[in-house]
Amino acid sequence: MTSAKSPVSNKNPLTAPAPDLWRDPDARPFVFFDGVTKTFDDFTAVDNISLKIYKRELFCLLGGSGSGKSTLLRMLAGFEQPTQGRILIDDVDMAGIQPWNRPVNMMFQSYALFPHLTVEKNIAFGLKRQRLADVDIKRRVADMLDMVQLGHLGKRKPHQLSGGQRQRVALARSLVKRPKLLLLDEPLGALDKKLREETQFELINIQEELGVTFVVVTHDQEEAMTLATRIGVMNQGNIVQVGEPHDIYEYPNSRFVARFIGSVNLLDGRVTEDEPDRVRIRCNDFEPPVYLNHGISCAPNQEVCVAIRPEKMLISHEPPAQTDNTCSGVIEDIAYMGSLSVFRVRLDSGKELRVTQPNISRDSGARFTWNERVHLYWDVDSAVVLTS
C-alpha cells in the first residue's frame, strides 16, 4: 500500500532511474559535511572535507586503508566528533547529538551481532529501545526477516549462521528502525566472491525499495562501481574526486584516481598544441603525437600525463592508418583470461603498456604471440589528460 505511493516503486527496481539530485545545483543535500576536519593526536584522519550527499543516494566512500573513509562514516554515526567543521543530516546540525539520538543506523564491518541473543532478538533490539508495543515489534521483525529471506532462522544464535546469513541479519537489524540514513562499513568485505556478487544486487534492490539513503565505505573499487550512484574517492584524508561511477572511470581527475580505479597506462609528455577543439601532446616514450579532440586549457609546453585505459587500446600486426595516437612495441607477456586477453607490450623506450582485447572469436586470443612486434593505437577521445 505504501509502496504504491512511493515514487521508486517499480516492477523492476534495478532498472529504475536513479533520482540524480546531485545534478541539480539547487537541490537540498541530505547529508552535508561542511569543512570537516578530524585529527587524532597529531594525525589528521580527515582534512577539511566538504561533501553533499542527496536523498535516496547510494554513496560510496572509496579509498585505501588510512584514507579517512571510516572516520568519516563514524562521524556520521556519532562515534567520533569532528575537530572542526559541522555535519548536517536533514538540515539538523549533528554537533553534540549522541549516537543513540541520531536518525542513523550502521551496519558494522564485523556485523557486531549480539552473540547472546537470537536472530529475532538481535533485530528486535533497536525496536525495544523505542518502547514499541510487542505486537508491532513482532510484526516488524517478521517483515524484516522475510525481506532478507531468513524467516526460518529467527530462533538461531549468530554463531549458528553462515557468514552470508550473518551479513543479512546485520542488514535487517540496521534497517528495522527505518533510519533516514544507513551507514555500511565494508558491507560485503567478509563474503566470498560469488556471494558478494549476489548480495550487491540484493543491497541495491533493498535500497531502492525502501528509499533509504545509503553511505557505504569500501576499499573495493569493483564493489563501489556496482553499488554506487556516486563515488567519493578518498586519499590521505581528502576527497580527491566525487562523481558517478562512469565519470570516475572514464574521466579521472588525477593520477591517483586513474590508478586507484581499474588499471591504466600513464604516459608523461608535454603539450605542443592547445586549441579549444584539439590538443596535441608529445610523449616521452614514442614519436607520434597524442591527439585529443578537445582542448584542455593549460599553459603552453606544460608537462602533463596522458591516461589510457588498457581496453581502449587496439592492437594489430600492421601499422594503423592513423598517424596520431599510435606507437609500437614488442609483446612481452600474454595473460589469457577467457573473456579477454591481457598483453604487456614493451615500447622501444623501455616503457611497458598494458592492453586488453576481448576474445570475440574463439581463436582471437591466439592471433598474437610472444616477442612479436605489434602496433598499438587508440581513438581521439580515448585518452584523458591529467595535470595533477
Partner 1 sequence: MSQANGYTAAHSRLQRVLHKLPLKRINWGRQLVISMPFVWLAVFFFVPFLVVFKISLSETAIAIPPYTALIELEDALLNIKLNLGNYLFLWEDSFYLEAYLSSIRIAGVSTLLALIIGFPMAYLIARSESRTRTILLALVILPFWTSFLLRVYAWVGLLKKNGLVNDILINLGIVSEPIQMLQTDFAVYIGIVYTYLPFMILPLYTALEKMDMSLLEAAEDLGCRPFQSFFLVTIPLAMPGILAGCTLVFIPAVGEYVIPALLGGSDTLMIGRVLWDEFSLNRDWPMASAVATVMLVVLVLPIMLLRNRKEAE
**Residue-wise DSSP of 28-60:** PPSEEEEEEEEEETTEEEEEEEEEEE-TT-EEE
Terminal C-alpha separation, the chain: 52
Q: 116 vs 194, which CB is nearer to partner 1?
A: 116
**Residue-wise DSSP of 283-301:** ESS-SSPEEESS-----TT
Q: Give the angle subtended at the CA of 124 by the CAs of 203 and 140, to the nearest 5°.
A: 65
Dist. CA 228–CA 65, nearest whole Å: 19
Provide the minimum distance between the beta carbon of 143 and partner 1 in the complex, in angstroms, as a whole number. 17
Provide the minimum distance between the beta carbon of 136 and partner 1 in the complex, in angstroms, as a whole number. 15
Provide the minimum distance between the beta carbon of 101 and partner 1 in the complex, in angstroms, as a whole number. 8
Q: 169 vs 376, which CB is nearer to partner 1?
A: 169
Do 166 and 160 contact (CB within 8 A), yes or no? Answer: no
Q: 125 vs 238, which CB is nearer to partner 1?
A: 125
Q: 110 vs 272, which CB is nearer to partner 1?
A: 110
Angle, helix 134-147 to helix 163-175, in steps of 10 degrees = 140
Provide the minimum distance between the beta carbon of 366 and partner 1 in the complex, in angstroms, as a whole number. 52
Q: 136 vs 268, which CB is nearer to partner 1?
A: 136
3-state secondary structure of 249: helix
Residues at the contact surface with partner 1, assessed by CB under 8 A = 77-79, 98-100, 104-106, 108-110, 112-116, 125-126, 129-130, 173-174, 177
Provide the minimum distance between the beta carbon of 69 and partner 1 in the complex, in angstroms, as a whole number. 17
Q: 2 vs 130, which CB is nearer to partner 1?
A: 130
Written as one letter, the residue type at 242 is V
Q: What's the order of all strands across the beta sheet hosting 213-218?
A: 104-107, 181-185, 213-218, 58-63, 230-235, 238-243
Provide the minimum distance between the beta carbon of 127 and partner 1 in the complex, in angstroms, as a whole number. 9
